[in-house]
Chains A and B, each alone.
Chain A
Amino acid sequence: MDIRRLIIYVVALVVMTAFTSGCARKIVKQNEGPVPGFGLAGPGAIAEGELQGVQTTLRTVYFDFDNYTLSPEAQAAIDYDAEILKRYPNLNVVAEGNCDERGTAEYNLALGERRAGSVVARLTALGIPSNRLSTVSFGSELPVDPNHNEEAWAKNRRVYLRVAK
């Protein structure tokens, strides 16, 4: 077990303990201001407390170039996420599909949709009700890393699971 995974487990444990101990389940509505939130509107759009806690715990799913099939690592991440989502049956999830910059914008929008669809399909197969799940593709419009190298591209080919009430 690498150190990163250990940290994630610890954080998850802390978060879950906090919630199961019966603290206030106050969930602040997402910011509905004049600027609609995008994927990268980031943690600010998610309120404190439970939602925030679950959000930081969920693992992002990564993909190979021009590919929407799930690698063993991607499958493991989704399996982990499914277990967390099962503990919070009131939370819905938007799977946000993203691509790296090396592609044309329209094709990448379709590819991002397909990636999000792959993640949702596995979550459904793992028992998450489909009415809790939706997809949105941002294509290559919202890179988390704006650099133009392999490291950045690998980070940007992702499906981010955004939780909402």
Chain B
Amino acid sequence: MIFEKINRILNNSAANCFATIILLGVSVLSCLFCSPATAKLLLDLDNPNLGKMPIMVADFHSSQPGSPNGADMASIVRNDLALSGLFEIIPAPQPLPMSQNGDPDINAISRTGAQALIMGSFEVNGNQLTIEAKLYDIALQKLDLGKRYTGAITDYRYMIHMFDDRVMEKITNIAGCFTTKIAFIDDSRTREIYTMDYDGANLRQLTNTRTINLFPSWVPDGNGLIFTSYINRNPDLWYVTSDGQRVVPVSQRKGLNASGRFSPDGSMIAISLSVKSIPKIFIINTQGNIIKQLTNGLGNDISPTWSPDGANIAYVSDQAGTPQIYTVPVNGGEPKRVTLSTSYNTDPDWSPRGDQLAFTAKVDGRFQICVIKRDGSDFRVLTNKGSNEDPSWSPDGRMIAYTSNLDGTKRISVMDAKGTVQAKVSGIPGRSPAWSPRLK
């Protein structure tokens, strides 16, 4: 039934188009789309009846054996699609059955239950790599998406992720965000900030302050992060460029300058300051000047997160005796309590679609990642193994990064927004993940 809907879109869109994307280094110079889809189908993440779409991903083919290899490329595709939670990966027969005209044998493949097929080929020329990748609609027996990417061999993962972003756009109308990164802190005594691809590849140390760094959070344009650091022996708010070259202070008031989060338009920062003794939520500008104090009362107020429209902020307060999540309008108004069902609710992160909050709740004595609608309805627990905290949404709203201690050490994991697929991604121990915005 689902695929019937997908077919409808595919029928409506211009088929068999072939776009070429030239990749030089890591910067995309041009992006020529096929004609935009004319029908809207958003796979509704809240639809409990949504099944997974069976998809087959064949190993990429090349006449030149060596590195990179086609099996590796296909495994990147399989991993991306599986982690989205929307696909069931069907094993591809080796070799893939082909028809006489050189196209895949659609009839043979349809017998495996696969409703879509991804296959690709690549060529190496010096240190340049060209990848050609295709998405076939098995039911309609047609090529649905074809892309060609050229770039440095070392960027092959990025090129594959770019294709997968387009596959998601083709099938769901919302581009994937497999080209994004996750920032986090390691577990060394001086917790340094690292970045990695969302799937854990390309790990890179961003800071070397040799002091405690906490709570990294991206600037909306992706060009840097703000974080709390003890560089000057006090928890101050600092900014670091995404190349790690520049580290500058933003707010250095007496007491806490903690958990800074940029407004979606990049003009303001919500932050917890204890400059007036009790930690409260303030709005400051990018120069660090206070614009307004947002919360009052006797509770510790911490962990602000902006609604995607910038109109509201969710935060944690223990004014009722235990930490609970509240929302408050940025332009004035009374705070409203969101969480009611458990005694310890922290770390809210507002979903990019705006309809729900992910947060950490204490469930049966352990921390778990949960989601709740912004009005407090539809509370759901997404994790149930080990202890899990620090949720951070992917920019497409389909995945959540979080800290999990499932293997005995805290590491960064990602899951789809329903929690059906959960995978450890950071090779090194770490916590406090921050999913980047879409990066240019």
- Cα-based distance from A106 to B261 in the complex (angstroms): 13
Closest to A30 in B: B233
Do the beta carbons of B215 and A106 come within 8 Å of each other?
yes
Do the beta carbons of B279 and A114 come within 8 Å of each other?
yes
Which of the residues B190, B214, B231, B390 comes within 8 Å of A109, measured between beta carbons?
A: B214
Q: Separation in Å of the A32 CB from the closest CB of chain B? A: 10
**Does B347 count as interface, using CB distance less than 8 angstroms?**
yes
Residues of B close to A139: CB separation below 8 A: 214
Which of the residues B191, B235, B322 comes within 8 Å of A136, measured between beta carbons?
A: B235
**Does A64 count as interface, using CB distance less than 8 angstroms?**
no
Do the beta carbons of A104 and B360 come within 8 Å of each other?
yes
Q: Separation in Å of the B271 CB from the closest CB of chain A? A: 11
Residues of B close to A35: CB separation below 8 A: 190, 210-211
Do the beta carbons of A38 and B212 come within 8 Å of each other?
yes
Do the beta carbons of B214 and A113 come within 8 Å of each other?
no
Q: Separation in Å of the A31 CB from the closest CB of chain B? A: 12
Closest to A36 in B: B211
**Does A42 count as interface, using CB distance less than 8 angstroms?**
no
Do the beta carbons of A106 and B303 come within 8 Å of each other?
yes
Residues of B close to A34: CB separation below 8 A: 210
**Does A137 count as interface, using CB distance less than 8 angstroms?**
yes
**Does B254 count as interface, using CB distance less than 8 angstroms?**
yes
**Does B356 count as interface, using CB distance less than 8 angstroms?**
no
Closest to B359 in A: A104
Q: B289-341: which have CB < 8 Å to A? A: 300-303, 316, 318, 322-323
Do the beta carbons of A109 and B233 come within 8 Å of each other?
no
Which of the residues A66, A103, A104, A136 comes within 8 Å of B233, measured between beta carbons?
A: A136
- Cα-based distance from A138 to B328 in the complex (angstroms): 27
Contact with A along B268-285 (1 / 0, CB 8 A): 000010100111000000
Do the beta carbons of B214 and A111 come within 8 Å of each other?
no
Residues of A close to B389: CB separation below 8 A: 104-105
Which of the residues B191, B272, B344, B360 comes within 8 Å of A110, measured between beta carbons?
A: B272
Do the beta carbons of B431 and A134 come within 8 Å of each other?
no
Residues of A close to B234: CB separation below 8 A: 136
- Cα-based distance from A104 to B361 in the complex (angstroms): 10
Do the beta carbons of A109 and B256 come within 8 Å of each other?
yes
- Cα-based distance from A66 to B432 in the complex (angstroms): 21
**Does A135 count as interface, using CB distance less than 8 angstroms?**
yes
Residues of A close to B274: CB separation below 8 A: 110, 113, 117, 135
With contact pairs A34-B210, A136-B233 given, residues A107 and B303 touching in the complex (Cβ less than 8 Å): yes
Do the beta carbons of B255 and A135 come within 8 Å of each other?
yes
Do the beta carbons of A37 and B233 come within 8 Å of each other?
yes
Do the beta carbons of B212 and A106 come within 8 Å of each other?
no
Q: A106-165: which have CB < 8 Å to B? A: 106-107, 109-111, 113-114, 117, 134-139, 141
**Does B350 count as interface, using CB distance less than 8 angstroms?**
no
- 18 residue pairs A–B, Cβ–Cβ below 8 Å: A34-B210, A36-B233, A37-B233, A66-B322, A104-B390, A107-B318, A109-B256, A110-B256, A110-B258, A110-B272, A110-B302, A111-B318, A113-B256, A113-B274, A134-B254, A137-B256, A141-B191, A141-B214
Beyond A34-B210, A106-B316, A107-B303, list 8 extra A-B contacts (CB 8 Å).
A104-B390, A105-B215, A105-B390, A106-B259, A106-B303, A110-B256, A110-B272, A110-B316
